[in-house]
Amino acid sequence: MVKNVLIVDDSRIMRSIVKSYFDELKISCQYFEAADGEEAWWMLLREQMHLVLLDWNMPKLSGLGFLMRARAINKYKQLPIIMVTSEKARFNVIQALKAGATDYIIKPINSRQFAEKLNKIKL
């Protein structure tokens, strides 16, 4: 079964980099891309996702706002949501994990680190 992956980042380049890591790891996915949290929210409501990779700082709805909105709905409580962000302050990491992030990757990311995080969720 092909997994649906939602990549949410206001940087098109970052979305491309993330997709390239999936290709490098030979993980077959159907990608959905959103440039902000609001657009991502509507995609999540329309499509069944198996993983969300989520930036923090975005227009319209932040990654943290998206995460909190998703975790408030039973259907999305177990959905793997990994923050992929340049927000590296300890407070932010703790805040995201308390809000329900499955894991946290600090940019810039590398393929080894990316593979480790995906292995943890058994994608």
The model's pLDDT over 47-93, given as tens digits with 9 standing for 90+, comes to: 999 999 999 999 899 999 999 999 999 999 999 999 998 878 888 88
Closest by CA to 55, choosing from 3, 18, 94, 30, is: 18
Instruction: Count up the domains in the chain and report the number.
Output: 1
At 117, phi and psi to the nearest 5? -65, -40
Find where tokens 């302050």 sit: 89
Distances (CA, A) of 25 to 1, 21, 31, 113, 115: 17, 6, 15, 12, 7
> In sequence order, which residues have a C-beta less than 8 Å from that of residue 16 and are 6 or more positions away?
none
pLDDT, residue 102, reads 95
pLDDT, residue 26, reads 85
The model's pLDDT over 91-121, given as tens digits with 9 standing for 90+, comes to: 888 899 999 999 999 888 888 888 888 888 8
Round to whole Å and give the CA distance between 73 and 9.
22
Helix, strand or coil, per DSSP, at residue 53:
strand
Q: Using the predicted structure, report yes or no on whether residue 123 has a pLDDT greater than 80.
A: no
15-30 mean pLDDT: 89
pLDDT, residue 112, reads 86
Give the pLDDT band of residue 33 (cuts 50, 70, 90).
very high
pLDDT, residue 66, reads 96
CATH of the domain at 9: 3.40.50.2300
> In sequence order, which residues have a C-beta less than 8 Å from that of residue 56 and are 6 or more positions away?
62, 63, 64, 83, 85, 86, 87, 92, 96
Q: Give the distance between the most distant pair of CA atoms in the chain.
A: 38
Q: Residue 104: which domain range?
A: 3-121
Closest by CA to 82, choosing from 63, 104, 58, 99, is: 104
